[in-house]
Structure 1
Amino acid sequence: MAWPFALPAAPAALVQAADRSDRRDETLTKGRPTDVESLADAVVVKNENVFFVAQRDGNVPLQNEHGLGLYYHDCRYVNGYELTLAGQQPAHLSASAAQGAVGIFTLTNPRIERPDGAIVDKEEIGITWRRLVDSEIPALRDRLVFRNFTLRAIEFSITLTIRSAFEDLFAVRGLLPKRFGTLHPPSWEGERLRLSYDGKDGVVRALTVHYMQTPERRHGTTAEFLVRMGPRGRHQLDLALVIEESQDGLARRRKPDPADLAALEADLERETQAWMRDVTDVSSNGSSLDQLMERSFRGLRVLRSHLKDETYFAAGVPWFVTLFGRDSLITAWQMLAYHPGVAEQTLRLLAQYQGTQDDPWRDEQPGKILHELRVGEMANIGVIPHTPFYGTVDATPLFLMLIAEHAAWTGSLRLFDALRTHVERALAWMDRYGDRHGEGYLAYVSRAKERLINKGWKDSGDAIVNADGSLAQPPIALVEVQGYAYAAKLGIAGLLERDGDPERAERVRREARRLRERFNRDFWMEDRGCYALALQADGRPAAVISSNPGQALWTGIADTDKAERTIGRLMAEDMFSGWGVRTLSSEERAYNPIGYHLGTVWPHDNSIIAAGCRRYGRDGDALRIFHGLFDAAFHFRTHQLPEVFCGFGRAEYEIPINYPVACHPQAWASGAMPFLLTTLLGLAPDGFGKRLRIVRPLLPDFLDRLELRKLRVGQAAVDLHFQRGAQGVHVDVVKLDGELDVQVEKGS
């Protein structure tokens, strides 16, 4: 995502606007991620930082408010792209983007009546529309292949219309005005169409459409071609939509050669296979679990992105294809057992952006880990604070948690030592800036005058509520964030001790122990048998039943008796929909099964809750969560869990209901099934001790055996075989490279 040139300073008027205390902070996050139409059926094609989102017929509508199109660097370069046959829309047959960077759309013709009276009956023509995202140029490479399935010659016209308004992503989402710069009229040069925009940030953005054959006619942004095919004939049309960015408007990309498409596609498939080979292999003898795991890993391959020579998982397509502190950290954690290298690179990258000053506009403070980074026009001119934006309370403790867990898997202090200064600054932020209650709790306040902005993972404006349905009042200390803080301090204390600083380690441990004691006193709701969603102003609890306490259990902060009662409450009918644990109880006044955080089901949330169940010995409940999400996945397209789905109960609805604008693929949703499997298998690494503990291993009810191959702990790699038997799940070491003691703990 690196810019090939230095960005100009923001115009003075916009800098002044950015400094105003009455900025409309509600544009940073909303009850929904966008105001545009549903994307539930969209097809996503992505390669690194370039991605294309289309309807299932391959088209991007020329009208209406939608989020479809071609994106790069937080700008939508194409907001309309339609194919017509003799003025009519082709009929959709199938669409697939299983390869990630390649989409294949299969179409056929409607009934065509030519001006000369000739008729082409419907379904006599086959159309394959192959789209490849080329991140090197960058460009969208299209190949249209028409096939005549009749025994007579066929002739008809086709048109391709392409439009662009060069909107910033925040404008596409309907959160801010459409445009700040100057949009130029389209121009034609032979078979080349050029669209361009002079951004207010001094960047000229352009899209050049290269047609590999000269159009019969050109009008506006429409190219018309005549297709002639003999009996059983074939016709091919290639084009490339090339993205250009410069500060002088002179940059022109080379005309892509259609002959290299096959080689490009082969290279992309080799890269995908290399990624799959590098991931710990899961094999369950061809069961449906294999399919779900492969879809998860391929989804994460699509979301893999690069910035400053480091790899991370972008949060989700289309709205969050960028570095997100919380999302990228949790996804890296979910993948530690499968691909630990991404965690290290994510941590190094986030450390580079760690806060250094107190900047209210960006919510930056020394030691704080970023929330979201943007590189589009609105960020560059200071209309939005995402350069980066630090408006999160949980990314900093999650950063520390991941450092400690990564060390447990790798058995190395190398990363900890490299980031030691960043670790100390993060700890200092938690103690100095995070404590808004004066009770040692990590809490946040809103700096917005017009509405409350939430800074936990439930970051929509109406997410943190009281029992009467009103909004909680800041400062707000979320229940799960206290768990993160506790686990972060315990984990870092262990690394400090290993690194030869036992006194500092003990001080940090004492802080964690004191936090745990206060937490179990102040957050517990005895009358409701569960922890409160949050503490708010004056220490009053937001006394609703929510999924958040389940994430606190994951960290181990809860007393055992309270944890068991909390799990029982989370798995009650008003919370467990049959597909997963709802974000808010259906008995609460604020419950809304279609509300972004007010009753929906989030796969990543459930994967963490299941880990909390396992920590406190509630194995059956962890299995229920696994089975609910497993069953749900098969009802979604390509069997890929979305970011979120509606909270309607399984007893009322035979299928889980789509949330209309959910991201897919989405990083921590793609990581949910892999993390759930790690949790069920009971993998507990001790890389420093060259040991792998397997604690109370479980297999899903439909599975009798499973193998993990190339599981890395420390410097060793191990293949494990799990087999269901009369005495539970038996584990065998099939192959071991390196030194590793595998210990199976069956439990009572």
Structure 2
Amino acid sequence: MSAARFENAIVLKNGNLFLVTDANGAIPLKEKHGFGLYYQDCRVLNGFEIRLSGSPPLIVSSKAPTGTMAELTFTNPRIQGRDGRLIPRQVLAIRSHRLVQDNPPAIRERLLFQNLAGHHAEFTVSLSFRPSFEDIMAVRGFPQHLGNLFAPVWEGGPLYIVYEGKDRLYRGLAIHFDPMPDATDTTNASFNIKLASQETKELRLSQFVTFSSERPDARKPVSEPVDFSRVASDLAHTSETWMGSITRIVSDNAVVDHVLTRALLDLRLLQTKIDDLTFYAAGAPWFVTLFGRDSVIAALQTLAFDSSVAEQTLRLLAKYQGQRYDDWRDEEPGKILHELRTGELARLGLVPHTPYYGTVDATPLFLILLAQHAAWTGTLNLFEELRESVERAIAWIETNQERHGHGYVTYQSRSPAPLANQGWKDSGDAIVHADGSLAVPPIALAEVQGYVYRAKRQIAGLYERVGETMRAGRLKREAEELRTRFNRDFWLPDKGIYALALQGDGTPCSVVSSNPGQALWGGIVSGNKAGRTVDRLMAPDMFSGWGVRTLSERERAYDPLGYHVGTVWPHDNSLIAAGCRRYGFDQAGLDIMTGLFDAARHFNGYRLPELFAGVDRVNHHDPMWYPAANPPQAWAAGAIPYLFEIMLGLIPDGLDHRLRIVRPVLPGFLDELEVRELKVGGAEVELRFRRGPEQAINVDVLRVEGHLDILVEGTFPLSPRHREQVECDCTSGVTRHSPGSPRGLLVWRGAAVRAGGGVRR
């Protein structure tokens, strides 16, 4: 399959059904691409086009605000009318309203044709469909076709298309029209339209997807007409209800609000269910399924906004946790999955994704998410519920660390159909040496050791909470021993940064990469090496101006359009920014946030893609789209809300009914914002952050419901006026401040706050 460009794609999704079209709202019939109508890892349609008297309509505008429905406006090119008269360009107005329904899985579309001319117009509207029923792995290049695609059947007006898979599952598409077509041919339908001046006529079609172990009945009754306004209202209400249930941020910059809203709606769009448990699918179109690493990171990035998805993701991953040794699937006891597929190839066992466990980092990330969930929600219930999974995950980590005698978590696939690399940089050429050669497994990645360090430290804290102090102490000792080894073996003194990885013989991959930035996030970096690491990451050969590149442009393997060897990944940068903030390098974190927000402004609909080119901002005034990037991608969308959390310094300690706000900072494009309905440990709080004198950030607590102590720690002047305001806002609060020092600690006790106020617009 040729590489598909999704830069201006229109993506609609509801549940497991999603539609990806080009910017014209079509699925091109003549070329290979990734556009299509997809359901449960199957591309049902790989072609759909509308024609006016043989010519494609001209797109005027399109919008898909929530991702569950789209409104497209077209006009006509110069066409030959059915009565022989020429219809001049732009005298027809065509409006399309598309909806994606989850139950039943269906695409509903209403087409309105209006004649704006002063005389009548006669023309033909043709709708062409190309069914494919390809497994999504086949769309990406794996050989198929396996089953039997029956001849299309027109019966009583609707078109029925059925595919019988070798997995004994029938996959069907039923297309209903209202009014019925004037003519049909295989998978084409045509309608003769005659419009008086200013007249409007309507055409509706519904595409129902059915998967069944029995062959679908081709004589189904025609569906009842749909009230588009009601369905559209219901879909909009669903999105609004979710947006109203999560933490909200409102700023004094409308563009920033648009970027955040787009990210949150993309995350809502990517919510998918397995076994009635909701998770963030990794991205559309290629990764609308459960991924261990991606789904965990997206849930981590959004814990401050919605902890419920994290909870369900953890339960789902625990359910599919590795049980045995299986080389074909790279499965090991206690290991968290990499990818789960449910298509024909997976059901036949022709691919190992049932699930596939070829990831080295999902297991420690699973533990980190569990600990962070407890910190935000203030409950150990999920930890207690998943205790067996926690024990098995820790056992897998420790077994892996002992496997090669170095004490590091490494990967080396045993599968005959493996992922060559099993960290987040999983392309075949991602892990390289300075001479451009590839690292030899087993490979220990820098950031994975950081994940393991953080996982052991945080899970130790949960064991302490339940009284298992000996277990907690052992995990902490193991974490510190790992930290000592890491800072000895991974450090490259001549480069001022940590190695990308160590290969099996202990040889470091001595290249400058972004991976040590995620090691900062894990907390494994020694304090005396953190500054040099941050400086190296933010040097011009690494920081493009839009973000930190995956690989330095000075390295032999660098390619600004190489998937993992020079591009910029938003999720990677969000973790790096958090790592910079963790070690006190606030300006570096702000620079990364500024670069990503500036990049989002240039992309269609303010949507950050999965990745973009690593070209220099000075020489390229707009960020460059990566040709096959997924829009949307969950952890790219999650980078935006996570950047707010880390820049505002929100550190939850819900188990002690406490929220710490540590060194809050605002980027230069913001002077004020409010955080509303932030939930910590069963309480809810509203906060205002304002830029004050000397660039200090003032924090006002506007409302607290429930028991919550709020500690504001940071570098800010405590003027008499500010102290007076603190006393006014927090009548039972305590303010501590060391005289003569610019550093202060403001403490709000309980819920004694005032209400009111708002962001100035």
1:332 and 2:299 equivalent? yes
Partner of 2:758: none
Match of 1:417 in 2: 384
TM-aligned CA distance change 1:450 to 1:142, over 3 Å: closer
User: How many Å separate the matches in 2 of 1:450 and 1:200?
Assistant: 21
Q: 1:739 aligns with which of 699, 707, 713?
A: 707
- Judged with a 3 Å threshold, the aligned counterparts in structure 2 of structure 1 residues 627 and 548 are, in CA distance, closer, same or farther, namely same
CA contact (8 A) 2:334 2:396 kept: yes
Q: 2:683 aligns with which of 709, 713, 716?
A: 716
Q: Deviations over 1:636-693 (max 9, x none)?
A: 0001100000011001101000001111111000011110111110011111111111
Distance 1:526 1:415, change over 3 A: same
**Gaps in structure 2 of 5+ consecutive residues:** 716-742, 744-761
1:435 deviation in Å? Answer: 4.3
User: 1:228 pairs with 179, 189, 194, which one?
Assistant: 194
Say which SS state the counterpart of residue 107 (structure 2) adopts. strand
Structure 1 residue 456: deviation in Å? 0.3
- Relative to 1, partners in 2 of residues 1:299 and 1:451: Cα closer, same or farther, differing over 3 Å? closer
Q: Deviations over 1:90-129 (max 9, x none)?
A: 1111121112110122111011123543111010001111
Map 1:211-610 to 2 at 5 A: 211-250=177-216, 255-433=222-400, 435-447=402-414, 453-610=420-577
Note the C-alpha offset of 1:470.
0.5
Equivalent pair of 1:280/1:339 in contact (CA under 8 Å): yes
SS of structure 1 residue aligned to 2:439: coil
Question: Per the alignment, in what secondary structure is the counterpart of residue 678 of structure 2?
Answer: strand
C-alpha change, 1:694 and 1:460, in structure 2 (3 Å) is: same
3-state secondary structure, aligned to 1:475 = coil
Measured in 2, the distance between the counterparts of 1:333 and 1:680 equals 16
Partner of 2:149: 183
Distance, in Å, in 2 between the alignment partners of 1:423 and 1:449 is: 29
Give the corresponding residue for 1:152.
119
Q: Deviations over 1:53-80 (max 9, x none)?
A: 0112111111211011100000011111
Q: Does 1:48 align with 2:5?
A: no
Deviation at 1:449, TM superposition (A): 6.6
- Cα distance per residue 1:283-332 (max 9 Å; x no partner): 11353211111111111110111111211111000000011110010010
- Identity percentage over the alignment? 53
| Alpha-carbon distance between aligned partners in 2 of 1:595 and 1:160, rounded to the nearest angstrom | 39
1:676 corresponds to which of 629, 638, 643 = 643
Q: Is residue 2:657 matched to residue 1:704?
A: no
Give the distance between the partners of 2:366 and 2:324, measured in 1 at CA: 19
Indicate how the Cα distance of structure 1 residues 110 and 722 shifts in structure 2: closer, same or farther if over 3 A, else same. Answer: same
- 2:632 corresponds, among 665, 668, 677, to 665
8 Å contact kept, 1:35–1:173: no
Alpha-carbon contact 1:593-1:647 (below 8 Å) kept = yes
Letter in 1 for 2:216: L
Report if the CA contact (8 A) 2:328-2:415 is conserved: no
Partner of 2:168: 202
The aligned counterpart of 1:125 is 92
The 1:217–1:251 alpha-carbon spacing in structure 2 relative to 1, beyond 3 Å, is closer
Q: Is the 8 A contact 2:253 2:670 kept in 1?
A: no
Count residues in correspondence. 714
Partners of 1:467 and 1:542 within 8 A in 2: yes
Tell me which amino acid in the other structure corresponds to 2:189. A
Q: Kindly state the Cα deviation for residue 709 of structure 1 after the two structures are TM-superposed.
A: 0.6
Conserved in 1, the CA contact under 8 Å of 2:253 and 2:669?
no
How far apart are the structure 1 equivalents of 2:678 and 2:402? 39
2:181 is aligned with what amino acid? P
Distance apart, 1:82 and its partner CA: 0.8
Give yes or no for contact 1:393–1:434 (8 Å, CA) kept in 2. Answer: no
Give the partner amino acid of 1:454: N
**2:697 matched to 1:729?**
yes
Q: Structure 2 length normalisation: TM-score?
A: 0.92
What is the CA distance between 1:250 and its match in structure 2?
3.2
* Other-structure match for 1:639: 606
Asked if structure 2 preserves the Cα contact closer than 8 Å seen for 1:57 and 1:106, the reply is: no
Amino acid at match of 2:309: V
CA distance in 1, matches of 2:151, 2:270: 34
Residue 25 of structure 1 corresponds to which residue in structure 2? none
Distance in 2, Cα, partners of 1:437 & 1:721: 51
Taking the aligned partners of 1:442 and 1:254, their CA distance within structure 2 comes to: 58
Contact 2:109–2:204 at 8 Å: present in 1 too? Answer: yes
CA distance in structure 2 between the partners assigned to 1:79 and 1:426 by the alignment? 41
**DSSP 3-state at the match of 1:331:** helix
Which deviates more from structure 2 when the two are superposed, residues 86-95 or residues 572-581?
Answer: 86-95
SS at match of 1:671: helix
Q: How far, CA to CA, are the matches of 2:502 and 2:416 in structure 1?
A: 21
Structure 1 unmatched ranges of 5 or more: 1-33
Give the distance between the partners of 2:685 and 2:19, measured in 1 at CA: 39
The answer on whether the counterparts of 1:58 and 1:129 sit within 8 Å (CA) in structure 2 is no
Shift of 1:340: 1.1
Q: Partners of 1:531 and 1:433 in 2: how far apart?
A: 22
CA distance in 2, matches of 1:59, 1:132: 15
- Any residues of structure 2 matched to 1:6-21 within 5 Å, and which? none
Partner of 2:740: none
* Alpha-carbon contact 1:80-1:164 (below 8 Å) kept: yes
Question: Retained in 2: the 8 A contact 1:683–1:695?
Answer: yes
How far apart are the structure 1 equivalents of 2:83 and 2:40? Answer: 48
Deviation at 1:256, TM superposition (A): 3.2
Matches within 5 A, 1:96-135: 96-114=63-81, 116-135=83-102
Say whether the 8 Å CA contact 2:659–2:710 is kept in structure 1. Answer: yes
Using the alignment, how far apart are the partners of 1:256 and 1:573 within structure 2? 60
**RMSD of the TM alignment (CA)?**
1.3
Q: Which moved more, 1:250-259 or 1:509-518?
A: 250-259
- Give the AA of the match of 1:160: L
Please tell me whether the aligned partners of residues 36 and 173 of structure 1 are also in contact (alpha carbons under 8 angstroms).
no
Change (3 A) 1:233 1:555: same
2-structure distance, mates of 1:188, 1:329: 46
Residue 172 of structure 1 is aligned with which of 132, 136, 139? 139
Q: Is the 8 A contact 1:84 1:158 kept in 2?
A: yes
Supply the distance in 2 between the matched residues of 1:713 and 1:476 (Cα, whole angstroms).
39
C-alpha displacement at 1:565, in angstroms?
0.4
